Amino acid sequence: MIKDLFKFGKEDVYMWSGLGIFSLIMILALSLISSTGLVVKDLIGLAVVMVLPGYVIVKLYLDNMVISENMTKNPIINKAIDKFIVSMGCSIATIVPINYLWKYLLDMGIADSKGDLMGTVEDEMIYSGSASWRALFTVILVIGVAIGVKIYQAKKAGNPQA
């Protein structure tokens, strides 16, 4: 059922290969100037948070979108570049507002019926480790909602594959 929603082509391989090569170059370059080994973790986190949710949205809803025609002479590479650009845009449009909402609710808290704030969290706690879990939960939430809506639309349309 889920694999019927995702059809991978050459442009997907080119996009992820290009992202992988760029990441390797960045790992090598930043490892030379960094004394800590957190460069790999940060780049993997960046790919998961800033590319993956948007890529799922693009694959489900905008797979045939074309925003540039003449970047290169190869139309497959053009489509891979388009997918990467739109994936980044979709990730920014979904992840950043939800993370802002999380931070606002955790910092300011939610008022109960008496008007007292409950659930406030100190900034130090957020930045000491829970922020990464919150970002991962946000990614899972965005991907889950995108897939859930697509399955719902397919079932409502009477598609027997979904």
Q: Is position 162 within any domain?
A: no
The pLDDT of residue 37: 61
Residue 117 predicted with pLDDT over 50 = yes
The pLDDT of residue 159: 64
Among the residues of the chain, which ranges form H helices? Answer: 2-5, 10-33, 38-50, 52-61, 75-108, 123-125, 131-156
The pLDDT of residue 124: 42
The pLDDT of residue 126: 45
The count of domains in the chain is 1
Residue 153 predicted with pLDDT over 50 = yes
Indicate the Cα dihedral angle 147, 152, 158, 162, nearest 10°.
Answer: 30
The pLDDT of residue 146: 93
**pTM for this model (two decimals):** 0.76
- The predicted model gives 91-119 an average pLDDT of 75
- The predicted model gives 38-57 an average pLDDT of 81
Query: Per-residue DSSP letters for 88-117?
Result: HHHHHHHHHHHHHHHHHHHHH-EE-TTS-E
DSSP secondary structure code for residue 129 in this structure: I
Range of the structural domain that residue 82 is part of: 1-157
Q: How many CB atoms lie within 10 A of CB 12?
A: 19
Q: Is position 120 within any domain?
A: yes
